């Protein structure tokens, strides 16, 4: 049997992270260690409150999942199927799936991106500018210059200032811009604002309206720039419905339940003519490293989670000319700087 240890970790953010739904100064994640035949492997998942997940519930699921792992870490599909019999808990499943991939990579002596037959380099990551006053957002955009090649602006202030936010940032930088409204526009606000954002050169808009909004298909028809869904696309079974409502989907390991489900989503999206963002939550380099392994399959990357932290306890991913590059060490290629947890 594989040995499993699981714990919650609090990650302090360098600056308060604000989006339409609220603000946070720290993020809570769950981390697991698997031990098998003398090898240790690690994975992380970020429980998402929006989907009624918490670290407490994730840890309980992990404690109860020990028997489901079996004695063959390479039997990834079979393990996935056993875990899938229990609904929800996608962050916990993502942590397990990442640790299993880390273990397989370490046992074979190859990085996971090679194990998957993929490339080491994906698209450059966006750098997230928290929702704030237009001037404040412009100042943050200025500070990103030189380090990042694309910016993602959090919108949805419900104060009529979203266009001014983008104008303020556009006035201080020539970097490509994308926006994420996190479900906070009405259909009317989306119809009013999107054409103006398109004329400012905004490349795409993520989740403009509430997940499942009845006017989603109509907005796609009338949108002058690509729409990506995030809050309404979690796992493989959500991908087909996205075609009518969006031009692409944002795949996150903690939403999907791990690398394998995310791969299925990428291929389903391709079959349906949808583009793909590989995204993240506020998470450490351990979580980001797992997402980076498949970033080369995506059109866009939003993998700045560990860079938003005060300090990253799991270094290994390197920001190189705007790209979050996974290590060429075996497995996920990250090593903790903290004390050994067990």
Residues at the contact surface with Mg ion, assessed by CB under 5 A: 180, 206, 230
For tokens 């720290």, name the residue.
26
Taking the least distance from each CB to Mg ion, the nearer of 180 and 283 is 180
Minimum CB separation of residue 5 from Mg ion in Å reads: 31
Taking the least distance from each CB to Mg ion, the nearer of 69 and 181 is 181
Taking the least distance from each CB to Mg ion, the nearer of 232 and 261 is 232
Taking the least distance from each CB to Mg ion, the nearer of 31 and 126 is 126
Taking the least distance from each CB to Mg ion, the nearer of 230 and 232 is 230
Minimum CB separation of residue 162 from Mg ion in Å reads: 15
Which strand ranges, in their side-by-side order, compose the sheet holding 248-252? 127-129, 151-154, 177-180, 205-206, 227-229, 248-252, 275-279, 300-301
Minimum CB separation of residue 228 from Mg ion in Å reads: 8
Structure tokens at 270: 């391709």
Taking the least distance from each CB to Mg ion, the nearer of 180 and 312 is 180
Q: Beta-carbon neighbour count of residue 182 at 10 Å?
A: 21
Cα angle for residues 105, 111, 112 (degrees, 5° grid): 70
Taking the least distance from each CB to Mg ion, the nearer of 44 and 180 is 180
**Backbone torsions φ then ψ of 137, nearest 5 degrees:** -70, -35
- Integer Cα distance of 307 and 128 in angstroms: 10
- Position closest to Mg ion via CB: 230
Minimum CB separation of residue 261 from Mg ion in Å reads: 18
Minimum CB separation of residue 182 from Mg ion in Å reads: 6
- Integer Cα distance of 207 and 223 in angstroms: 12
Minimum CB separation of residue 59 from Mg ion in Å reads: 25
Cα angle for residues 83, 248, 43 (degrees, 5° grid): 35
Q: Beta-carbon neighbour count of residue 77 at 10 Å?
A: 9
Minimum CB separation of residue 314 from Mg ion in Å reads: 23
Q: In this structure, are strands 3-19 and 22-36 parallel, antiparallel, or unpaired?
A: antiparallel
Cα angle for residues 282, 77, 72 (degrees, 5° grid): 100
């Amino acid at each position: 049997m594989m040995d499993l240890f699981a714990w919650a970790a609090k990650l302090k953010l360098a600056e308060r992270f604000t989006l339409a739904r609220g603000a946070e100064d720290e993020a809570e994640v769950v981390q697991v260690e698997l031990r098998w035949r003398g090898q240790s492997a690690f994975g992380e998942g970020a429980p998402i409150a929006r989907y009624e997940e918490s670290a407490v519930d994730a840890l309980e699921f992990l404690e109860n999942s020990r028997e489901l792992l079996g004695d063959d870490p390479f039997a990834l599909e079979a393990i996935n199927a056993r875990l899938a019999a229990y609904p929800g808990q996608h962050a916990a499943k993502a942590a397990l799936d990442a640790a299993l991939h880390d273990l397989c990579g370490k046992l074979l002596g190859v990085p996971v991106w090679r194990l998957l037959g993929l490339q080491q380099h994906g698209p450059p990551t966006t750098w997230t500018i928290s929702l704030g006053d237009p001037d404040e957002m412009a100042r943050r955009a200025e500070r990103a210059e030189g380090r990042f090649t694309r910016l993602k602006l959090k919108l949805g202030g419900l104060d009529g200032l979203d266009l001014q936010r983008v104008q303020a940032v556009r006035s201080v930088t020539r970097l490509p811009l994308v926006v994420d409204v996190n479900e906070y526009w009405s259909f009317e606000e989306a119809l009013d604002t999107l054409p103006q954002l398109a004329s400012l050169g905004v490349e795409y808009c993520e989740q403009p309206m509430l997940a499942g909004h009845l006017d989603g298909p109509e907005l796609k028809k009338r949108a002058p720039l690509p729409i990506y869904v995030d809050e309404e696309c979690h796992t493989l079974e959500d991908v087909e419905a996205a075609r009518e409502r969006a031009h692409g989907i944002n795949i996150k390991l903690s939403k999907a339940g791990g690398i394998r489900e995310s791969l299925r989503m990428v291929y389903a999206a391709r079959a349906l003519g949808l583009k793909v963002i590989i995204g993240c939550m506020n998470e450490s380099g351990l979580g980001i490293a797992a997402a980076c392994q498949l970033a080369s399959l995506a059109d866009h990357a939003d993998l700045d989670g560990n860079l938003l932290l005060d300090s990253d306890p799991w270094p290994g991913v390197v920001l190189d000319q705007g790209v979050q590059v996974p290590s060429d060490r075996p497995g996920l290629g990250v090593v903790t700087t903290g004390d050994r947890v067990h």
